[in-house]
Chain A
Amino acid sequence: MPALNHYLVLSAILFSIGTAGVFLRRNLITILLSIEIMLNAVNLSFVAFGRALGSADGQIIVFFVMTVAAAEAAVGLAIVISLFRHHESLNPDQFTALKW
């Protein structure tokens, strides 16, 4: 029977994959997808902890995290679209207007 630890280790691995994606990729869309992977890893650990504590709170937090993820995706993708209009590029290294 998989126990709490199994789920937490899986969540840690998924979170690290998401972190690696944010560090390694130079494409805004893939970076946003990596952030979604990280949010899902956290969701998994919330549900696993909620199951271990026998409470519904873990699942309710997941509901709120999904709402925030939807809002983040909508605003993030709108920013990506307007950046692409200006620079014809999705590479974050090209966006240096605020670089000091």
Chain B
Amino acid sequence: MVNTANVTTRPEDRFVAEFERFEALHTNGSSEHFPLLRQKALRQFSATGFPPRKSESWKYTNIGSILRRPYSAPDTGTVRASGLDGLGAYVAVFVNGHFDASQSTLDDLPEDITVASFTDQTQAGRVRAHLARYAAFEHEPFTALNTAFVHDGALVHLPAGIALSRPIHVIHAVTASYAALLQPRTLVISEDGAQAQIVQSTEVHTKMPVLINSVTEIRVGARAQLDHLMLQAGTPSTSNVANVSVYQETESKFYNGSFTFGGEVVRNNISILPDAEHCETLMHGLFVARGTSHVDNNTLMDHAKPNCFSSEYYKGILDEHATGVFNGKVLVRQDAQQTNAYQTNRSIVLTNTAHMYSKPALEIYADDVKCSHGATTGQLDKDGLFYLRARGIRADEARRLMLISFAGDIIEKVPAASLHRVLYREVERLLR
């Protein structure tokens, strides 16, 4: 065993050491939890290491200083999750990575729908069949790291043809008296024709630095319709690397909404692969950052098959010393004829010390396609501001109203109407 007190030059070594410590704690009796997968992922992680500073996809985000901190995977903890008021969801709560049945409200779920912990023995076969199938870790060191630590996680299974009227909400809460490494894992499997909304959020109940490295795998069955929302609202010392991998089957519809409200360094890696014809994908995102927050959205819309539609729309508001990054790629592979793909990024930079880096990219190998993208960065519309002031509204209030309506463009498009109020509340809180 590596002595963690040793000063190591590579941050990777520290994580490997932490793995070994964590592993020793968890192998007593539960070694059947995908040991091979975890070992393989660890080997992959230590071989690849974290992305080099100069790699193209990390060009604008330096996560090195975050990774050099000594994190520990937390033990079981107790904390009351705050949840999201007014969402009216079926809630599954995980504290420090462990399922907390006492705080979850899953009893009134329709009985053929499963929302369970990976440790639920009745679901072991299902988890094993799908885990790490959609989120490949070969080229994703953060996914590899997460996979190496997988013990518990949230499984959502939606049987064919069901339509759920209330959202499912998975909460990951963390509490610790030391720098904590939380690695939530979520697996959503929807069978053919299922319809549901899944909301994921993280809660940090500590002032200590926290690194959340989450992986979410989603499979959208044929003709299924799934909405997936991700809410990140961390403390100024929370860093978040969120990896979302989505696999869409024929004629399915998928909405992804990513909402980031602060955090020290946030990096979202969202990758969606419609691997069959006639799929529709909406990829929306909103980030509001202030202080010295750094938010990086790295997305891949991977069109592999013909006749699909996708529309990506990201908006950002950068205040104070914050930095925003939009690094979005639309890839249209050679077979993906008749693809219609759109990508838009609009950002507002409010101060002299805020920064925005936008890199919307199209990579297209099929000729019979309609693809376009656009990006704008600027300030608030002066005419709009003037109009509001001419109606007697104070300048700062006018500015706030304009910003809220700028963000509202994304919020209003969220399919779960019960979330609109929750999201507006967050935005208003940040823009106060």
Chains A and B are bound partners = no
Mark B residues whose CB is within 8 Å of A: none
